[in-house]
Structure 1
Amino acid sequence: MISVHHPSATAALGDLSAFRAAFHHCLTARADALFELADAVLCAEGPVTSLVELSLATEHRRGHGSLYDGLNRGRLEVNRFRAVLAHQSIPRSQDGRIVLAIDVSHWLRPDANTSPERLFCHTYARGKGQAQIIPGWPYSYVVALEPGRSSWTAILDVLRVRPVDDHTDLAAAQLRTVVDTLITAGHWQTGDPEIWIIGDSGYDGSRLAFLLADLPVRILVRLRSDRVLRFPAPPRQPGTRGRRIRHGARFVFTDPTSWPTPAQATITNTTRYGVAHAQSWDRLHTKLTRVGAWVGHAESLPIVEGTVIRLQVQHLPGTGTPKPLWLWYSTTDNDAAPTADQVDRLWQMFLRRFDLKHTFRFLKQTLGWTTPRVRAPEAADRWTWLMVAVYTQLRLARPVVEDRRRPWERKPAAPGRLSPARVRRGFRAVRPATAMPASAPKFCRPGPGRPSGSRNSRRAPLHNPARPGKQTSRVKTQA
C-alpha cells in the first residue's frame, strides 16, 4: 500500500474525498440514505446479493425501510452529476486522444408484469444458437477506454432506452451530451486530437457521423460481413445527359473480386491472435434509402464517406481460424486518411472496446446492478446511477488501496494495477480517510403499517413489454 503521506496518495485521497462530497451534493432528496447505500455496496464482503443484506452492513446506519424509501423517492440531479463525472481524470491513449466506447447492457425483468417501459432485449446464451428475447430495461453506457492491459473504464454517462427511442438517434444525443460536457470541463481544446467513438455493429456509423458532424469526433464502428458499400461516382463525361450519378462501383464484402488494391496493408505479429493482416480502402459510403431513421429527412440523402478496414487474424483463443472483422472509420482521403500506423491503432483500439464488457460483468456479478427487484423504472435509474458513483470511487481509489489477495491468487499486483474487484476488497480500509458528508440518522418510531388481515386495495397496472420504437400498452389490472 502506498503511504498516506506519499504525494500521489495524498492527491488521490483528495480527489476521492472531493468526489464523495460532490456526489452527496447531487443527491437532493433522501441524500444520506442513498449515500450510505452506495457506501454499503462499496464495503460489502463479497458480491451483492440483496438489498436487505446491504441494510445490515456497518456502513449503512439506517433501517431497510430507509433504503427502499431512498430508491423509490430519492432524487439525483443527473445533469449535475454528469458534470462531476466529467471533471474527474479521464484516461487517454498514447497520443493524448480521448477514446469513448458506447454499448447497451440489459437489466432483464421477465416476470415484472407491473413494471412499465420494458423492452424485448436480445440476449446471448453459452450454447450456439441459444439467443433469447427477454423483457427488460436496456441501458446505454458511454465510457472512456484506458490504454494498455487493463479492464478499467471511466463511466461518463448512462441512459435507459425507452420504447419510443430510436437506437442510433438516442446514441447520437447521448454522445453529444458527453462530448459537450468534456469540452466544458476542459478535457478537449482546439488543436487536440479528435475524440474517437467506438461502437459495435448495432450502430449506424453513417447516421452517427452525420448527426455529430459539428463535433470534434471520429466514428469507428463494426460492420456486418454481408454489407455492400459504394465508391464515389465517376467523373461526369462531357455531353452526358440525364441525372448525375451519385454512387460508384460496388464494394461487396463477400466478393473479393470487387475489392481494388487497398490504400494501406499492414502485417502485425500479436501474442494473442497470431499474425494479423489489415487492409483499408478509402472513400466508401453506404447507399442510403428513406427507411428507418432517414424517413423524415427532408433534404436529399447525404453521402457520408469513410474508410473501410478489413482485419484477418490467425487464430482466436480456443477456436480455429476466425471470420474477418470489418470496420468503418469516418475519415477519408479528403481529410487526412489513416496511415498504415493509424490503421493498426484503429483495429487495436476497437479491440479495447471489450473492456466495456468487463465493466458490465463487474457491475452485474459483483456490485449487483441487476439484483434489486424494483417496480418503477425511475427507481432502477437511481440504482444505476448509484452503481456509476460506486464504480467511479473504486477507480479513484486505485492508487491508495492495499492488495488484499486471496491465498490462491498470484503475487500481489503493483499499485495502480489492481482489478476493480480487488480494489473493492480493500476500500473499507480507505473509507475512514475520505469525506463523510452523510449525517447521523435520527431516531424515529416505526409506523403502524398495514392492519392485520387487510388486503391491498390498490391494484397495480400490468404492462406488456414493447419492441423498440413502440409504446407499451396497459392491458389489465392485477387483483
Structure 2
Amino acid sequence: MSLLQRDIPRDAFGELSRFRTEFYACLTARGDALFELADALLCSDGSVKTLVELSLAPEHRRGHGALYGGMNYGRLDVARLRRTLTGLPLPRAADGRLVLAVDVSNWLRPEANTSPERLFCHTYSRGRGSAQMVPGWPYSFVATLEPGRTSWTAVLDVVRLCPWDDEIAVTAGQVREVVRRLLAAGQWQAGDPPVLIVVDAGYDVTRLAFLLADLPVELLGRMRSDRVLYFPPPPRPAGKGGRKPQRGAEFKFEDPATWPAPDVTTVTDTTHYGRAEAVAWDRLHPLLVRRSAWANYPEGRLPVIEGTVVRLRVEHLRGDRNPRPIWLWWSRTGATAGDVDRLWQGFLRRFDLEHTFRMIKQTLGWTVPKLREPAAADRWTWLIVAAYTQLRLARPLAEDLRKPWERPARRGRLTPARVRRGFRRLHGKTPQPASAPKVSTAGPGRPTGSRNRHRACEHPVGKRDKPTTAERATNNRSA
C-alpha cells in the first residue's frame, strides 16, 4: 500500500505541496540556495550542529559558498509568507475558538561584539536564583495552540525586538497584524467566539487588553503573586456629596483577608495535576499611574481596565508536591464556571510553545549559526519557521521510523522530531521548484598573506534611541 493510499486527510499532501510552492515564490533573491537550505534542514540526520554541514546533505546541491551567499544576500518576501502561514489549516479548541500564544525566545550572542542591535536577554541556568542577563537577539513568536496534550503549535509570526522598541507596544502591533490577517483569510467570521490570546507573567496583560480592545480578542495572562488590584467603587449613598471615589476595596494576592467570597468556584479531577481548584473574582482592575508606559497618556483620568481574576491551585506538579497557586487575569467580566475551566486549561496549553522553542533550537539549530548581521538572522529565523511548518503539514503523511528502543507512536501522535526523521522519504514526492545549480569554479579569495583592512566596528548592547538614517548608513559601511 502506497503512502498516499493510507487513511490520511485527503488534502494533507496537497497542503504540503502548495506551501512548498508558495514558500519558493516568497524567496525573491537567491531563492534556489535558500530553498535547498530549508530542504537540507528538514532531511538531515540528527540535530543541526553547524550551518555549513547542511551543504553536505544530498538535498543541498550547491556548495557551501552558495549557502552563505543566500544567508547574507538573499531576500525573502516576509509579508507574503505571513499571509501564506495564516491561510493554512489551523488547530482550534473544542468550541471552535482560535487560541494564540505569544512569547519571546532569545538567540544569545554574548561574544558577538560586532553584531548590532543586541539586547540584554533575561535567561535562566540550572538551579534556583540563577537568572542572568546575556546579550542576544530576542524574538517574539505568535503561534496557534492545539487542544489536548501535544508538542505541536502552528507558528504564524515572528518579530525581532530592537533596542529602541517598547516590548508591549511591539507585541500589541504584532498581534493586531496577525488578527487582521486571520480576518482577511477567513479564519474568523462574525459570530465566531473571540480569539483567545495567552501570555505569561512577563507581559503587562492589562495594557495589552487596552491596546487591543477594538479587536475580537480576549486576553489571558499570568500575574505575579505580589500584585494588588482593586474592585470598582461602591455606589454613593443618596444625598452624600463630595468627589466620587475612583476605586473600591483592595484585593491583595498575598493576603487572603482581602479576598471576598469568590463569584465562581470550580473543582476538576485531572490525570496530570490531580485535583485542580479554580476560583474567580469579577471586575478587578490595576491602579494605573502616570509614569512609564502611561506617561504620555492624554490629559484626564487614566482608564479603568476591568477584568476577571482566576486563582488556580493544583494538587501536584512534576517534582513538586505542594505547588504555589497561579494567578490569571482575563480581559472580560461576568465569567461562568465553563469560562473559568476553559481559561485555566487554555493557559496550561501555552507551555506547548516551549516544546516548539526546544525543537527549533536543539534539533533544527535555530541559534547555531554565528551570523553577524541582524538581517541574516531574521532570514534564517524565517527559514526555520518555514521548515517547522512543513513538518506540521507532513504530520499525517510521515512514517514512524522509530529506533529499536523507542515505543511505537499512536496514529497522529508523532512528535516533530519523529516527523523530521521520516521527511526524507516524503521529500522526493513533493514539488521541487528549485532549479539545478550551474557549473562554476570557486573564486580566488583573499590573497595569501594579506590582512583584512576593513575591520568591523563594535556595537553597544542594551536599550537606546532609534538610530538615524545617517547612523545606519555609517554602521553598514563600517561592517
Q: Following TM superposition, by how much is the alpha carbon of 1:277 offset from its aligned partner in structure 2, in angstroms?
A: 1.2
In the alignment, which residue of structure 1 is the partner of 2:224? 224
The 3-state SS of whatever aligns with 1:316 is coil
Q: Following TM superposition, by how much is the alpha carbon of 1:414 offset from its aligned partner in structure 2, in angstroms?
A: 2.7
Deviations 1:388-440 (A, max 9, x none): 00000000001111100011101x22332100000000000001111111111
Q: Following TM superposition, by how much is the alpha carbon of 1:471 offset from its aligned partner in structure 2, in angstroms?
A: 7.0
Deviations 1:334-384 (A, max 9, x none): xxx221122011101100000000100000000000000000000000000
In the alignment, which residue of structure 2 is the partner of 1:236? 236
Deviates more, 1:389-398 or 1:272-281: 272-281
Distance of aligned partners of 1:20 and 1:205 in 2 relative to their CA distance in 1, 3 Å threshold: same
In the alignment, which residue of structure 2 is the partner of 1:258? 258
The 3-state SS of whatever aligns with 1:445 is coil
CA distance in 1, matches of 2:274, 2:257: 26
Q: Which runs of 4+ in 1 moved over 6 A?
A: 468-474, 476-479
The 3-state SS of whatever aligns with 1:25 is helix
Match of 1:358 among 355, 359, 370: 355
Letter in 1 for 2:423: F
Deviates more, 1:339-348 or 1:82-91: 339-348
Residue 166 of structure 1 contacts residue 468 of structure 1 at CA under 8 Å; is this kept in 2? no
CA distance in 1, matches of 2:255, 2:10: 59
Distance of aligned partners of 1:133 and 1:16 in 2 relative to their CA distance in 1, 3 Å threshold: same
In the alignment, which residue of structure 2 is the partner of 1:450? 446
CA distance in 2, matches of 1:144, 1:284: 28
Q: Following TM superposition, by how much is the alpha carbon of 1:238 offset from its aligned partner in structure 2, in angstroms?
A: 3.6
Distance of aligned partners of 1:7 and 1:185 in 2 relative to their CA distance in 1, 3 Å threshold: farther
Letter in 1 for 2:155: I
CA distance in 2, matches of 1:199, 1:301: 24
Q: How does 1:73-472 map to 2 (within 5 A)?
A: 73-299=73-299, 300-332=301-333, 337-410=334-407, 412-467=408-463
Letter in 2 for 1:406: K
With structure 1 as the length reference, what TM-score do the two structures score?
0.96
**Residue 16 (1) aligns with residue 16 (2):** yes
Residue 2 of structure 1 contacts residue 9 of structure 1 at CA under 8 Å; is this kept in 2? no
The 3-state SS of whatever aligns with 2:174 is helix
Residue 230 of structure 1 contacts residue 287 of structure 1 at CA under 8 Å; is this kept in 2? yes
Q: Following TM superposition, by how much is the alpha carbon of 1:7 offset from its aligned partner in structure 2, in angstroms?
A: 7.1
With structure 2 as the length reference, what TM-score do the two structures score?
0.96
Q: Following TM superposition, by how much is the alpha carbon of 1:177 offset from its aligned partner in structure 2, in angstroms?
A: 0.6
CA distance in 1, matches of 2:213, 2:82: 23
Question: Aligned-residue CA RMSD in angstroms?
Answer: 2.0
CA distance in 1, matches of 2:9, 2:312: 42
Q: Following TM superposition, by how much is the alpha carbon of 1:225 offset from its aligned partner in structure 2, in angstroms?
A: 0.2
Residue 27 of structure 1 contacts residue 75 of structure 1 at CA under 8 Å; is this kept in 2? yes
CA distance in 1, matches of 2:99, 2:68: 37
Deviations 1:200-228 (A, max 9, x none): 01111111111111100000000000000
CA distance in 2, matches of 1:469, 1:316: 43
Q: How many residues align?
A: 474
Residue 71 of structure 1 contacts residue 382 of structure 1 at CA under 8 Å; is this kept in 2? yes
Distance of aligned partners of 1:129 and 1:278 in 2 relative to their CA distance in 1, 3 Å threshold: same
List alignment gaps of at least 5 residues for structure 1: none
Letter in 2 for 1:47: S
Letter in 1 for 2:21: A
Q: Following TM superposition, by how much is the alpha carbon of 1:271 offset from its aligned partner in structure 2, in angstroms?
A: 1.6
Residue 101 of structure 1 contacts residue 143 of structure 1 at CA under 8 Å; is this kept in 2? yes
Distance of aligned partners of 1:468 and 1:156 in 2 relative to their CA distance in 1, 3 Å threshold: farther
Q: Following TM superposition, by how much is the alpha carbon of 1:239 offset from its aligned partner in structure 2, in angstroms?
A: 3.9
